[in-house]
Chains A and B, each alone.
Chain A
Amino acid sequence: MAPVACEFAIPSRPKAISKESPLSKKPVYTLVDELPNKGLTIMSLKALDFAVPGAWNNLTGFVNTIKEVTGETDEALIKEIGDRAITLYNDKSEGYQKALWLYQTVDSASSALGTGMIANKATENISFLGLINKLTPKPEKAQSFDLTVKLVVELVAFCQINGIPGDSIGDFLGAVKDYGGESLMRMAALVCYDGLVPLGPSFAEKGLETLKQSSASDLDHNKTFKGVKELIPGDRDKGKLAFITESFESVQDWMLGFVGDRGLTQDKVVTSLSKAVDLSQDKLEYLGAFLDVGTNYYEHTGVQTLTRRLVERAAAEV
């Protein structure tokens, strides 16, 4: 029950963090203030409301988040909480910036296309039909790697933000069962959009099989892994592959339970999404790539999660 410090060693300063995207250099309040209220990311997340009813309400705006999380209305207290949250965020050793970097990087690195398309994505106004012609379906192996790496990123980011879990994987499993709000929505999107839709109902099995049949050098050819490997625990790529495999294997049952308990199917997810984003069934094979390029749900909900945790801590400390 009692949390203890992270046992696995997360590299203190990844080399890649010096190449932060412009977004991560912004003040935390700007990140939250600039979260969009519309666009493909929002539409695709809202399309999953049927899977996690009422869990996510797209909370945006820094002051708004403080008010919503704490229920406080006194302006002086809100200012005090905001000041402390900013101070904590700006201290790199507190881990919040690393978590943001992970969420941002795993989203952009998993994209099937280049940075030009990612830049367009920021405008959040690409139509599905306009985009579809520029996409090619992602190979199953690459998609399986993406799924497993994204899951491990969630685990590592969780540890950075919360300071727990202790022996990492076991405590993460306990924590994920208590997930709510945007964290639960992020997991729903991971399971549905990176698992169920591109890989089918046996997505968890495929992910694990891919990991077990792969060598460290296979993994190193995966863009998503390369993007975040600096912060994945484990000695060299071989150790990191072992950590990813162990983590994914441990969370596999939770994912399958999530799908089973909610009666989720590829068909239900695609039907809900197609209503939201003008999608025709004959383009289904492109859907995974479309979601990769057209959305940044990990970053979006990741910013919301770390802000919520920051505010919870700041409100407790002032």
Chain B
Amino acid sequence: MMMPRLRRLCAAISQKAFLAIALSAILLVSTGCSALAPPESPSAQFEQTQAETSGRKAPDAVAKEAVKGSSLNDFFPRSVAGYSGYDVVAAQEKKGFAQFKVNEGGENVAMLSINDTISNPNAATKYESSTRKIQGSPALDIGNNGTGVLVGDRFQVKVQSRSDRFSAEDREAWLQKFDFKGLAKLNS
């Protein structure tokens, strides 16, 4: 026959065990549920932008004052010394924007672009943090693969690598060959 103290002790232990099992089960279920819940789409971060830029009152993506894309073409280099076998091919031309591809042996190795930041001024303000210059204009490394220059406080000129073969030094070499002086005059 079990002593009353021992019986109480056994009851206390079994209560604790029950609680521990119950808590573990709750934890397991909740962990399991969160693991089963669908992950948030990486695109969910764009929902606010979608709401702000669609619908009747959406702002224009490109400012009315932006220059014609065709007026930007003359300032791109068509070739750069030391880069024989590289082709410069027209890619896009829209209001306030022009872009060319640099291909080597048929492979796209870089993109050259000029955009009028009057449509998106944030693109220009980031150059306030620039600590170096290319052809006398503030320059920045942007991300892993881009180098940009702000010309005449308005036009962003960028070279972006599209191949490991096209390095940051290559980007700067091509930026040196844009006609920044001519481009700056568009802002006068």
Contact = CB atoms under 8 A, between A and B. Distances in A.
B41 A317 contact: no
B107 to A, nearest CB: 9
Interface in A149-197: 161-164, 171, 175, 178, 180
A87 B61 contact: yes
Contacts of A83: 46, 49
Nearest to A27: B50
Interface stretch (A36-44, A71-79, A207-215, A225-233): A71-79
Contacts of B142: 77
B27 interface: no
A27 B46 contact: yes
Interface residues of B, number: 49
Contact of B41 (A2, A33, A77): A33
Contacts of B99: 312-313, 316
A87 B101 CA distance: 23
Given A27-B46, A30-B43, A91-B62, A3 B144 contact: no
Contacts of A46: none
Nearest to B163: A71
Contacts of B98: 3
Contacts of A73: 143-144
A91 B156 contact: no
A274 interface: no
A8 to B, nearest CB: 15
Nearest to A86: B49
Looking at chain B's contact residues, is the secondary structure mostly helix, strand, loop, or mixed? mixed
Interface in B102-150: 103, 108, 111, 113, 115, 119-120, 122-123, 142-146
B50 A3 contact: no
Contacts of A29: 43, 46, 50
A3 B41 contact: no
Interface in A296-318: 309, 312-313, 315-318
B61 A88 contact: yes
B152 interface: no
Nearest to B89: A178
Contacts of A82: 43, 45-46, 49
B117 to A, nearest CB: 8
Interface in A8-64: 27, 29-30, 33, 61-64
Interface string B51-68: 001100010111000001
B94 A72 contact: no
A27 B54 contact: yes
A272 interface: no
Which of B74, B94, B108 gathers most chain A CB within 10 Å?
B94
A317 B146 CA distance: 11
A178 B99 CA distance: 15
A280 interface: no
A271 interface: no
B42 A63 contact: yes
A70 B145 contact: yes
Contacts of A5: 68-70, 93
Nearest to A32: B43
Contacts of A74: 143-144
B93 A163 contact: yes
B156 A62 contact: no
B156 A317 contact: yes
B92 A312 contact: yes
Given A91-B61, A317-B156, A318-B120, A86 B143 contact: no
B84 to A, nearest CB: 17
Interface in A73-103: 73-74, 77, 79, 82-84, 86-88, 90-91, 93-95
A131 interface: no
B181 interface: no
Given A2-B74, A29-B50, A33-B43, 8 more contacts: A3-B92, A5-B68, A27-B46, A73-B144, A83-B46, A83-B49, A164-B90, A316-B99
14 contacts: A2-B73, A4-B93, A29-B50, A62-B46, A63-B43, A82-B46, A86-B46, A90-B50, A91-B53, A164-B93, A171-B90, A178-B101, A312-B99, A313-B94
Interface of A: 1-5, 27, 29-30, 33, 61-64, 70-74, 77, 79, 82-84, 86-88, 90-91, 93-95, 161-164, 171, 175, 178, 180, 309, 312-313, 315-318
